[in-house]
Structure 1
Amino acid sequence: METPCFEAAMFPYQDPAGSDLLQRLGALDAYRSKIQTRYDAAGREPNTRFVPIEHLSGSSSRLRAGITPTVATIPWNAFPRSRTSTRDDRLDGRAEANLQEEYVEWDLQFRVGGGGNQSGIENIVFTTEFPEYFEALADVSFEALVTAVKSVIPGANPTVSELLGIERPLAPLLADGVVGPATWAMLNQVTGLAGRSAEQPVLRRGAQGEAAAQLQVRLKRLNLIGTVDGDFGPATEAAVKKAQARYTGGGRVFRQNLNKNPWNNGKKGILCLAQQFNTLPFLFELVSQCSVPRPQIRPQQVCATQGVNCVPSRSSDPNVCVAAQNQALLGRALSLRDPARIRILELQGIWRLNGERVDVNVAPTGGRQTPAIWSLSRGEQRAVLRNLPGLTLDGAPITSGAQVARKVQVGADILVVPTSGLKV
């Protein structure tokens, strides 16, 4: 069973989309807990220079006086390097085996001509957003999840079966204050904390011991209780009832249904990352494991080392691994910057509209300026390329998403400090 620090307050992680939606819909505590779980797990890697974000920022900072973390961005290309021999039309497909494996996925939107026939690409939508955001909202209610989907895809009208793969949305549990298997499962899902059933017995008011303490850890993560003492008293019972009434744990079925969800598999749109290796746990493990100093080998060799969660044939993994290893070898501690996300940095290449060179990374300012061709949103986690008539990339018209992905640069931000700048 995972055992987080009982005393430390949870770091106030930001909404990665830069909105107030998580807080407004009552999902911010659930989201923060899932992220805290990832930082805690990464910080437990033996000998790693990775540290939880609260060591470098906030009220629990361990920074010595006068020490300020620096921000470094680790960039890589969005095109799946291991798929250079794969046809672009296969790389564009999301409904079956998704080959978009660089923490970037995309979807094509087509123009509809006469008779309802497709007549070329109208938009290409890229996302680097992790599912945890939508999972936290689904943990609250189906209605909260739908609100989030509509905020990403205006005009969306998703059904329960489309988003969750079931006929009816999950309902809150009976708020009786008794912690049985269903309540444990809901709390594990909402907080992102794992637990074995043998260590999670039925609990009720009056219970004491480790299981009661683990229950309180979960309730504290959700801001429902302030003390973890292993004593299931009136305050803990009241907190359990609030959790039972407030959360459904629907994020589990949302996550399980991601590849069948038409609002994410390309049939009706794209919300977030769904490829099996484009996950937040993988990213944290990658940074943490590659932050273990290995002076006996070159940094470029660490990715292929046994026990390191790194795929040498990708663009993302080796770049992240080398950057983390270099920082570790220089005697520095590091952490993923909050909010933990992959940012879309730049669209490269020579772009022309009707023969005239345009800078697609600069937003139009009005008047007779060029219409927006490339736009970013959701905390730089979502980008839309408008394939305007007459638009070319390196002299060629736009015929696939993979063609554009070759020019998309993304990156992850890390915070870095000398290890000597941290209090023991």
Structure 2
Amino acid sequence: MEDWRNGGFGLYLHWPFCQSKCPYCDFNSHVATRIDQSRWQAAYLAEIDRVGRETSGRVLNTVFFGGGTPSLMDPEVVHAILDRVRSTWNIANDLEVTLEANPGSVEAGRFRAYAEGGVNRISMGVQALNDADLRRLGRLHSVAEARAAFDIARATFDRVSFDLIYARQDQTLPQWEAELREALSMAVDHLSMYQLTIEDGTAFGDRLARGGLKGLPSDDLGADMYALTQEVCEAHGMPAYEISNHARDGAESRHNRIYWQGGDYAGIGPGAHGRLTLDSIRWATVAQRMPAAWLAAAEAGRGEEPREAVPPSEMADEYLIMGLRLREGLDLTRLRALAPKAISERGLTDMLDLGMVALEGERLRATPQGRVVLNAVITALAA
């Protein structure tokens, strides 16, 4: 059995446009005044056809519309894409179709149209439940608009997730706890919570380099916020199934699990990455990053850059890095089948002795204390 089948097969579609660029964002997102959505639709369909010919006969488990702000896509475009997806691959009975949305772009009619087209899960970029911090984060919506958008989503879709950012400027531990409990009270079944990270090349990165961006929490306070998040969510019946993701039982993101479990995924759209196993070779794919360049390339029949083969040793490294993010960890037998010396036996012994990892049969997982310093644990384990 080819290794990717342990993780499944998904499709990621990148919509690169936003109403504005958030100062913390290093994703491939762009602001455009005019978008020819019919032209973009044709390009997506052409790319689905191209990738579909290479992966014919597979069962597709998930579809994820990411961005950017996919909730700015015309519902007719989403509908046409999903129609083409269903005619291209064999579809899993429980196909998960996620669309990312920003609260400011949510309309009841638009959401109903997405649902009618086949979207069955919404991931909403709320980011904060505090108007002052929303403004600091460059968000265009208010808390009231976020709640209204969430109510629309909840009335339309069975599965709704939203994102929050913590360790924000001047944020205290009690403030984060109050905000977290407020989020949990909204009857969500999935929360993604990310510590604010200042990336080079972003507006926040430039501001920090100039000596601005005051009030960022210390590393110790950030660690306390992470620990509090685990404690409060666990008590609320939403434990972390992955480092940054919490869900009620059965509500986990199946698409993201494909990444973490080393499955195959096709990436379509500007800057989209993918992993495809073809004729027993695993390939890393990446599409042209700039929207205009990708659009022209897709229309010419090849919306991606030249592929690179991923050797088994690198596949093992990816599985080690991604698999340990999951609560249940990874399968050592599978890891060693990819690369017999993928893990340092001395490092494994040291991490077991320190209580950073636990080994149950062939299942290796990070312990709660190990998850706090996971990068260091992975470094110690890597051969």
- Band of TM-score, shorter chain: under 0.3
Structure 1 length as normaliser, TM-score? 0.25
Structure whose alpha-carbon radius of gyration is higher: 1
